[in-house]
A = this chain, B = another copy of it.
Amino acid sequence: MKPIVSEAVANTRELNNSVGFSLRRAQLSMYKDFGRFMDPLEVRPSQFAVLMLINTNPGFSQSAISLTLGIQRANFVSMLDELQERGLVERRTSANDRRSFALHLTKQGEDFVKQMRATHAKLEKAIGRRLGVRNTKILLRLLNEFADAAENGI
C-alpha cells in the first residue's frame, strides 16, 4: 500500500467535533496572529496579559497577579525580572507587609501599555473580520461563560 504523502492533509472531521481540539486549533491560529501584530513590540502573550493586569490593578502583589493568570508564582519571578529589567515594571516594597511587593508600571511601562493597547486593538479588529463583529462577540461571550462555569465547578 502506498503511503499518503505530505501534500495530502489528513481528515480531521471527527476531531473537529471535540471542543478541546477546536479550542486548541483556534488558539494556535490566534497565537500566530498575535505574533504578526505584536512581535515588533517584542512582547509575548503572557507578558501582554501581565502588563495589562498590572495597569488595571496597580499595587497588587506578585501572588495576586500570577494567581489570576494561572501562572505559578515560582515561574512568575523571572517573568517579572525581565519586565523590570526592561524598565516597564516596578517592585515597590511595602511597610505594611515586608514579605511582598506592590507591583506598579513605570512611566515607561504606562507608555508601553498604551502602545500595546493600540496595536492589540488593530489585532482584534483584524480577527473580528473573520467571523464578523456580531459572531465574534458571541464567541467571546461563550468562551468567557465556558471558563466561568468551569471555575465555578459546573
Q: Which residues of A contact B (CB under 8 A)?
A: 1-6, 8-34, 45, 49, 52-53, 56-57, 59-61, 63-65, 67-68, 70, 92, 94, 96-97, 100-102, 120, 123-124, 127, 129-131, 135-136, 138-140, 142-147, 149-151, 154
Contacts and interface: CB of A to CB of B under 8 A. Distances in A.
Given A101-B3, A139-B139, A147 B25 contact: yes
B10 A19 contact: no
Contacts of A1: 59, 92, 94, 96, 102
Contact of A150 (B61, B68, B96, B130): B130
Query: So how many copies of this chain end up in the complex?
Result: 2
Given A5-B97, A11-B57, A64-B6, A26 B135 contact: no
Contacts of A10: 53, 56-57, 60, 64-65, 68
